[in-house]
Structure formats: C-alpha cells, structure tokens
C-alpha cells in the first residue's frame, strides 16, 4: 500500500508530523530551504568564475588559494572548508568526481545533482572519462588530456572553465549568467 504514495506526499506527511510534535520549527525549515535555493548554489560559483574572468589579480588568487578567494566573496561553510580551483586550458580538461560518496563544494555549487551521486558516474568517469563526457554531451578533442580529480572529505574541487570567445566586452554580472554548474564540475563547457 505504501508504494502507491508519492515521495512528495510522504515528505509532506513526515514534515507535518514533526511540526505537530514540535520536533522542527517550520520557519527554521523554510529558512534552511531558502538558503540552499537562493543563497547557496551554482550562482555563487558562477559569480566566482565571472570575477576570475574579469579580474586577473583575483584569478591568480583563486588559483593559488581557492578557499580564501572564495571566502573573500562571502561564500563559505560546510563542505567548503578546503576548495582547490583547477583551470581548464587548451591542453587539459579537468573533471571532478567523488568515488567514495558525493563530496561536493556546496557553498559554490549548491546541492549535488543526482547524476553526480550515481554509482555509474562515480566509477565510470575514472575509468573512461572521455566516453562519459561524450554521453553527457561534451566531446573533448582527442589531443586534449583529461584529468579526473577525486573529491574527498578533506578537499573539494571547483573548475574554472575557459571563457567563451565573444564575451570580452561582457561585465561580470552578464558572464555569471552563462556559467553553469556542470561547467564548474567539468562535464560541460560554458557557451556564450
């Protein structure tokens, strides 16, 4: 009988029960959810990338000490204690995975997507990254080296994508609008 009840309905019933028993405060839950939807998420990472694209000094700082540079922009917290930033280049393409679980830099990327936590992605991208990236819609040229970086509880990675041609006159706000979470994980490129 329970397999006919949707997950959304189950979640709502559980929340109501916890509120009735005064085990959670709905205002606190609303604030927590709003925080991850509006304040923590890929838009934070997009702002970091856009600033790096428009400010060479900040880019150098970001590549030297990602955690401090990201914190300077006000983005820190759980899962963001130590972030290394890797720059995409014409010679090398970086992609991030967490083979053990789903360690992910929440302060700059928000909640991890379901595919990132999927065992198939976690195991295959290490063994056959070019094939996995192709399946995800990204064809990395044969002459370009692919480096796979395994996040852990100690270190998480953020990819600094290559800035697309034709965006040289764009300001940071406009640039942030084209940066995607997938590009900051390395499974996509930023498109103008």
Is 76 flagged in the annotation as binding? no
Coil, strand or helix at 104: coil
User: In this structure, what DSSP letter does residue 111 have?
Assistant: S
Is 98 flagged in the annotation as binding? yes
Is 101 flagged in the annotation as binding? yes
Beta pairing, strands 156-160 & 92-97: unpaired
- Give me the catalytic one of 76, 103, 114, 151: 103
Decide if 102 is catalytic: yes
Separation in Å, CA 122 to CA 96, 97, 111, 127, 129: 9, 6, 16, 10, 10
Of 187, 176, 44, 188, the residue nearest 106 (C-alpha): 44
**C-beta separation of 191 from 164 below 8 A:** yes
- Give me the catalytic one of 6, 34, 76, 102: 102
Rounded to whole angstroms, how far apart are CA atoms 188 and 192?
Answer: 13
Of 78, 45, 42, 40, the residue nearest 62 (C-alpha): 45
Is 34 flagged in the annotation as binding? no
- Give me the catalytic one of 101, 114, 123, 152: 101
Of 130, 128, 105, the residue nearest 116 (C-alpha): 105
**C-beta separation of 107 from 75 below 8 A:** yes
Residue ranges at the known binding site for Fe(3+):
98, 101-103
Catalytic residues: 98, 101-103
Annotated binding site: 98, 101-103
């Amino acid at each position: 009988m329970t397999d006919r009840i949707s997950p959304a309905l189950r979640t709502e019933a559980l929340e109501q029960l916890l509120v009735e028993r005064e085990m959670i405060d709905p205002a606190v839950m609303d604030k927590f959810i709003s925080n991850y939807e509006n304040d923590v998420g890929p838009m934070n990472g997009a702002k970091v990338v856009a600033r790096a694209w428009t400010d060479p000094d900040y880019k150098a700082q970001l590549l030297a000490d990602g955690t401090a540079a990201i914190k300077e922009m006000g983005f820190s917290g759980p899962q963001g204690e130590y972030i290394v930033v890797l720059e995409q280049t014409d010679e090398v393409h970086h992609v991030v995975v967490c083979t053990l679980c789903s360690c992910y830099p929440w302060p700059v990327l928000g909640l991890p997507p379901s595919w990132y936590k999927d065992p198939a992605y976690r195991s295959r991208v290490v063994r056959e990254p070019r094939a996995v990236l192709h399946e995800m819609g990204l064809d990395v040229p044969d002459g370009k080296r692919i480096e796979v970086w395994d996040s852990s509880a100690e270190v998480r990675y953020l990819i600094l994508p290559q800035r697309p041609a034709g965006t040289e006159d764009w300001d940071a706000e406009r640039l942030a609008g084209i940066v995607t979470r997938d590009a900051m994980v390395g499974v996509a490129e930023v498109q103008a």
